[in-house]
Amino acid sequence: MTEQVAEPDWVEHVIWWQIYPLGFVGAHPADPAPGADEHRFRRVADWLDYAVELGASGLALGPVFESRTHGYDTTDHYRIDPRLGDDGDFDHVVAAAHDRGLRVLLDGVFNHVGTDFPRYRDAVAGGDRSWFRGRGDEFATFEGHDGLIALNHRNDEVIDYTVDVMSHWLARGADGWRLDAAYAVPDRFWAQVLPRVRANHPDAWFVGEVIHGDYQARVKDSGFDSITQYELWKAIWSSLNDGNFHELDWALTRHNEFLDTFVPLTFIGNHDVTRIASQLSDAEHVDHALVLLLTTGGTPSIYAGDEVAYRGVKEERFGGDDAVRPEFQSPFEGVGEHGHQVFRTHQHLIGVRRRHPWLHTARTTPLSVTNRGYVYTTRNGDDALVVALNIDDEPMPLSLTGLGVERAVVVAGSGAPPADEVSDTVVPANGWLILAPR
């Protein structure tokens, strides 16, 4: 077990805006593929003012390193993908982000490599195979994908290589790493890598992609700062679709336990899942999902396009991710009034989050739980908010005194009354309220 390291101070205030660069700039899928001379990665810089307007304080990038196809089959960890541009384009985007106060998170794939990775090509040709797992003439792959060759994480050279790659890009301006498929890598590997990277970059942040399992043990044994909170993601959309807030309440109990060990990366959408506007059976409940994201403990991430109600369904087939990884042209292009309204709701709720940074490590306590109504406090020490969610087609009476709250001021809500003190109020049909107790 590694000694738990406190996350960097800046993380308390960060709200990520996540993009998948290859899709974002139209570099993949694309035939013919663009060349480095098009410098498409610079288009990302054109969106940074939009990210700031949204309220984000960090830019989380998907894969940017040379690969054969989707970015997760890396060919060269030291080279910007030529379909995006070159090192100069990377430096330009990072500098533009930092100029606006935006942190930059990179996506690192160190569980496996692509079939054009030079050491793999050498191994296939009869050279040294020690960098890779496998038996006999067979190379191990990641989850059966022939194009993703599993690295040997017991090899000291692989450990050294990973340390060097991560350190190289942190020195070049990145602020942290998302570690792809971290669940498939032995914790002891990360426990050997991360302290060495932190030795020269103590302010860097590391989040592991973990879907199932014992989150707390993974953090303790690996040395990650954070882990992707897939349990809460699933409970949010599932409870809203099924009209079953008891599922959400159970997940938030687990979430509180995680916060005793680490602060999870929270999200309602990312590049690997169906967009929240498509995942939810009732479009009115997108706001409820966002309220949950931004009033519970965690480090929130907004997947680009979700803030304007983009739709897209992930399918389990070749090219099945393309619908959730589209090209972006210019801000608000093709976005109707509904999309603009969703954007304004994001701005407002992100503003609430940033005015209450204590929410980063807040714990929730249920005050009232029914299938279609959920009222909870979110608290950190003496700071607290009361959140009421109603997904029923009828208004939901809310008696604060009956829940042990004398009076409260309405901070935000759908059809919210003026910000006067209230003791009894009503949550509109399919509506929500956030109140500050007095």
* Residues 9, 294: Cα–Cα separation, whole Å: 19
pLDDT at 318: 86
In this predicted structure, the answer to whether residue 181 has a pLDDT above a threshold of 70 is yes
Whether the Cβ atoms of residue 32 and residue 288 lie closer than 8 Å to each other: no
Lowest mean pLDDT among 12-21, 25-34, 397-406: 397-406
In this predicted structure, the answer to whether residue 238 has a pLDDT above a threshold of 70 is yes
Span between the terminal Cα atoms of the chain, in Å: 43
Evaluate the CA torsion angle 309, 313, 318, 321 in order and state its sign.
positive
pTM of the model: 0.96
pLDDT in tens, 91-123: 999 999 999 999 999 999 999 999 999 999 999
* Residues 328, 50: Cα–Cα separation, whole Å: 12
Mean pLDDT, the chain, rounded, equals: 96
> Residue range 51-55: average pLDDT?
98
In this predicted structure, the answer to whether residue 405 has a pLDDT above a threshold of 80 is yes
Q: How much of the chain is helix, strand and coil, in % rounded to 5?
A: 40, 25, 40
Cα–Cα distances in Å, from 347 out to 57, 379, 382? 12, 22, 26
* Residues 86, 57: Cα–Cα separation, whole Å: 25
Encoding tokens for residue 348? 């407002």
pLDDT at 415: 78
Q: β-strands 65-67, 74-80: how paired?
A: antiparallel
Query: How many helices (H) does the chain have, and how many strands (E)?
Result: 12, 23
Lowest mean pLDDT among 43-57, 76-90, 150-164, 406-420: 406-420
Burial of 128 (0-12, 13-18, 19+ CB in 10 A): exposed
> Residue range 239-243: average pLDDT?
98
Q: Angle 139-143-149 (CA atoms, 0-180°, nearest 5)? A: 35
In this predicted structure, the answer to whether residue 438 has a pLDDT above a threshold of 70 is yes
pLDDT in tens, 274-317: 999 999 999 999 999 999 999 999 999 999 999 999 999 999 88
> Residue range 411-438: average pLDDT?
88
The number of CA neighbours under 13 Å toward the Cβ of 118 is 4
In this predicted structure, the answer to whether residue 2 has a pLDDT above a threshold of 80 is no
* Residues 216, 222: Cα–Cα separation, whole Å: 10
pLDDT at 145: 92
> Residue range 77-104: average pLDDT?
98
DSSP code for 284: G
pLDDT in tens, 207-216: 999 999 999 9
pLDDT at 358: 98
Residue 337 binned pLDDT confidence (cut-offs 50, 70, 90): very high
Burial of 428 (0-12, 13-18, 19+ CB in 10 A): middle
Q: Angle 105-197-150 (CA atoms, 0-180°, nearest 5)? A: 75
In this predicted structure, the answer to whether residue 227 has a pLDDT above a threshold of 80 is yes
> Residue range 136-144: average pLDDT?
92
* Residues 18, 347: Cα–Cα separation, whole Å: 16
Burial of 429 (0-12, 13-18, 19+ CB in 10 A): middle
Encoding tokens for residue 6? 């406190």
pLDDT at 369: 98
Q: Where are the alpha helices (DSSP H) in 275-388?
A: 276-279, 286-295, 337-355
Whether the link from the prior residue into 32 is cis, omega within 30° of 0, is: yes
Encoding tokens for residue 430? 């399919």
What the chain holds in terms of domains, given with CATH numbers, is 9-361 (3.20.20.80), 364-437 (2.60.40.1180)
Which amino acid is located at 424 in the chain?
D
* Residues 341, 430: Cα–Cα separation, whole Å: 16
In this predicted structure, the answer to whether residue 418 has a pLDDT above a threshold of 90 is no
pLDDT in tens, 339-398: 999 999 999 999 999 999 999 999 999 999 999 999 999 999 999 999 999 999 999 999
pLDDT at 198: 98
